[in-house]
Amino acid sequence: MKNWKLQKADNKLTNKLANELNVSKYIAKLLILRGVDSFIAAKNFFRPDLKNVHDPFLMKGMKDAVNRINRAKLQNESILLFGDYDVDGTSAVSMMYTFFKDQNININYYIPDRYSEGYGFSKQGIDYAFNQKNSLIITLDCGIRAVQQTTYANSKNIDVIICDHHNVAEELPNAISILNPKQPDCLYPNKNLSGCGVGFKFISAYSIHNNIKKEETYKYLDLLALSLIADIMSLTGENRVYTFYGLKKINQNPCVGLKALINLLSKNNLIKASDISFGIAPLINAAGRMSHATNAVKLLIASNSHEAEIYSKILLENNIDRREVEKEITKQALEMIDEKMHTSVVSSTNWHKGVVGIVASKLLEKYYKPTIVFVEKDGFLTGSARSVKGFNIYEAIMECEDLCEKFGGHMYAAGLTIKSENFDLFKIKFENIVRKKIHPEQKINVIDIDLEIDLDSIDGRFYRILKQFEPFGPDNLNPIFSTENLNINGPLRFIGEDKSHVKLELNTKSAKINAIGFGIASKFKSLKKQKIDLCYTLNENYWNNKTTIQLNIKDVF
């Protein structure tokens, strides 16, 4: 069965926009599907401008946060940054640490240990701050649910500013200021900032208040773009502007640490959002998964290439280990799945806590149903959850709150801790909630097709305009095209270690075009017909100093 769904756009509006912009109807339709339906909207889309970002003081609590840090500087107080151990948290800490250090503020940082402390603002971190005589803690990418921890910090005469972007609970921590655009009464328009994004608005507000040039904050656009891409934030509006300029900085003048990672990946062509997602972000995340995320911060705050090289190699080793461990755990987890269930919930005492999120994503890919992978230690299960399109897994877990010790997250990804003794109860309750709430269409991994197109329409001009749709990400995905009745020119080539990828050449009326499909060789092997239908994205292939357009196959029928 072909699970492809062609997206619809208003024909009148498509024709009108095509005429206004002097582009093909294909391009006009792609724009309208992305909410770009006028000349002005197209101008903002194709020409992102840092003048079009929001005033940081629109964010609730910003004035109090800036006043508190100004007081800390005046009184030479010692400040501790407390960040999460993923890319978003470590880039946020690195950005704020370097910025405030440059402003001669007495600042240090702390990243919790994934294994001994777990996710979020921890008592150990607060004790560390107390022993270091820190009078102010700023949390980054965590803290919105840390009611008890904030009270504990207050009991030690430590003030707390929370910078977070996760979903907000009814009870808020007793902090000096909470910066989180998801607060119900926060007027800040962009509800899709990363944790680093919230931190960036903080240093922007500090700069405005203290008459510091904007260029001092723009130095950190590379780290901001890194966080937005790695944390899978919506790449529209303000986030698109920041990511566009952040990628420019990554390609022209990245911080020393990012430059070291780019050198490791041997990237000679332009770094795109996909290179961050599949290359740079996994390397940074590997530090917190396999050893300690402090190494990621040390890399990103490195002041010279020698220091950066040392930490980049540590991260590379971590990532090699991570791949091996992940492969073995995924194999074991796949054997535990009950295909009759509406959910995939698995657990083991032998698994590595650092890779359960990746394993959950792999199970989701294979079985396409709400998934939680738990690892057990000392009577508790720590889980990573992933969801299918349109199903809010965070809300489903919230309905199991009575069985959770703690939880947090977003619509499609969440983390939680439960007591080991409650595993069976949780598994049944979660299954029942999902069974009742999930819609039939959410059980099928439908591929949304942007355009049905003739291969001959994919010429140089079309692709040049398409490249300007980048950076691609949530709400501005790389367009997926479909073409029917294609002839394969010559034999198929099955490549890769396990021959799971396929390379082929297709005939068009005027030329030949190359195509590659990753992980879908089995679908081609089972084809029984001469002509094929393909859905695909477009990319560039660099070979022998020559650049050609290539189809990246998503499905075949």
Q: What is the pLDDT along the chain (557 residues), one digit of tens a residue?
A: 689 999 999 999 999 999 999 999 999 999 999 999 999 999 999 999 999 999 999 999 999 999 999 999 999 999 999 999 999 999 999 999 999 999 999 999 999 998 888 788 999 999 999 999 999 999 999 999 999 999 999 999 999 999 999 989 899 999 999 999 999 999 999 999 999 999 999 999 999 999 999 999 999 999 999 999 999 999 999 999 999 999 999 999 999 999 999 998 877 778 999 999 999 999 999 999 999 999 999 999 999 999 999 999 999 999 999 999 999 999 999 999 999 999 999 999 999 988 999 999 999 999 999 999 999 988 999 999 999 999 999 999 999 999 999 888 888 889 999 999 999 999 999 999 999 999 998 999 999 999 999 999 998 889 999 999 999 999 999 999 999 999 888 889 999 988 999 999 998 777 789 999 999 998 888 887 778 999 999 998 877 778 889 999 999 99
Name the residue type at position 10.
Answer: D
CATH of the domain at 532: 2.40.50.460
CATH of the domain at 372: 3.10.310.30
Residue-level pLDDT at 1: 63
* 108, β-bridge pairs: 80
439/451 same-domain check = no
The span from the CA of 250 to the CA of 233, in Å, is 18
Q: What tens digit of pLDDT does each residue of 45-65 get?
A: 999 999 999 999 999 999 999
Residue 181 lies in a domain: yes
User: Which residue among 428, 443, 458 closes a domain?
Assistant: 443
Residue 192 lies in a domain: yes
Percent of the chain predicted with pLDDT > 70: 100
289/140 same-domain check = yes
187/286 same-domain check = yes
DSSP element (H, E) containing 24: none
- Could you tell me if 403 and 418 are in contact, meaning their C-beta atoms sit under 8 angstroms apart? yes
Residue 67 makes CB contacts below 8 A (sequence gap 6+) with: none
83/191 same-domain check = yes
Of the candidates 195, 197, 190, the residue with the CA atom closest to the CA atom of residue 236: 190
341/437 same-domain check = yes
Q: By residue range, what is the domain housing residue 486? A: 447-556
Residue 43 lies in a domain: no
Q: Which two tokens stand for residue 555?
A: 């499905």
Classify burial at 522, counting beta carbons within 10 Å of its beta carbon; exposed 0-12, middle 13-18, buried 19 or more.
exposed
Q: What tens digit of pLDDT does each residue of 64-104 get?
A: 999 999 999 999 999 999 999 999 999 999 999 999 999 99
User: Which residue among 314, 346, 379 closes a domain?
Assistant: 314
* 516, β-bridge pairs: 503, 552
As for how many domains the chain has, the answer is: 3
Torsion of CA 423, 84, 142, 472, to 10 degrees: -100
Classify burial at 235, counting beta carbons within 10 Å of its beta carbon; exposed 0-12, middle 13-18, buried 19 or more.
buried
The span from the CA of 140 to the CA of 82, in Å, is 6
* 542, β-bridge pairs: 547
471/358 same-domain check = no
281/368 same-domain check = no
Of the candidates 17, 8, 52, the residue with the CA atom closest to the CA atom of residue 37: 17
75/152 same-domain check = yes
Classify burial at 104, counting beta carbons within 10 Å of its beta carbon; exposed 0-12, middle 13-18, buried 19 or more.
exposed
The span from the CA of 307 to the CA of 268, in Å, is 22
356/426 same-domain check = yes
The span from the CA of 501 to the CA of 495, in Å, is 5
Residue 17 lies in a domain: no
The span from the CA of 356 to the CA of 371, in Å, is 11
Could you tell me if residue 245 is left (phi over 0), alpha (psi between -120 and 50 degrees) or otherwise beta?
A: alpha
430/453 same-domain check = no
* 346, β-bridge pairs: 373
249/129 same-domain check = yes
- Could you tell me if 163 and 170 are in contact, meaning their C-beta atoms sit under 8 angstroms apart? no
Query: How far from 430 is each of 140, 327, 530, CA to CA, in Å?
Result: 30, 26, 46
The span from the CA of 55 to the CA of 191, in Å, is 14
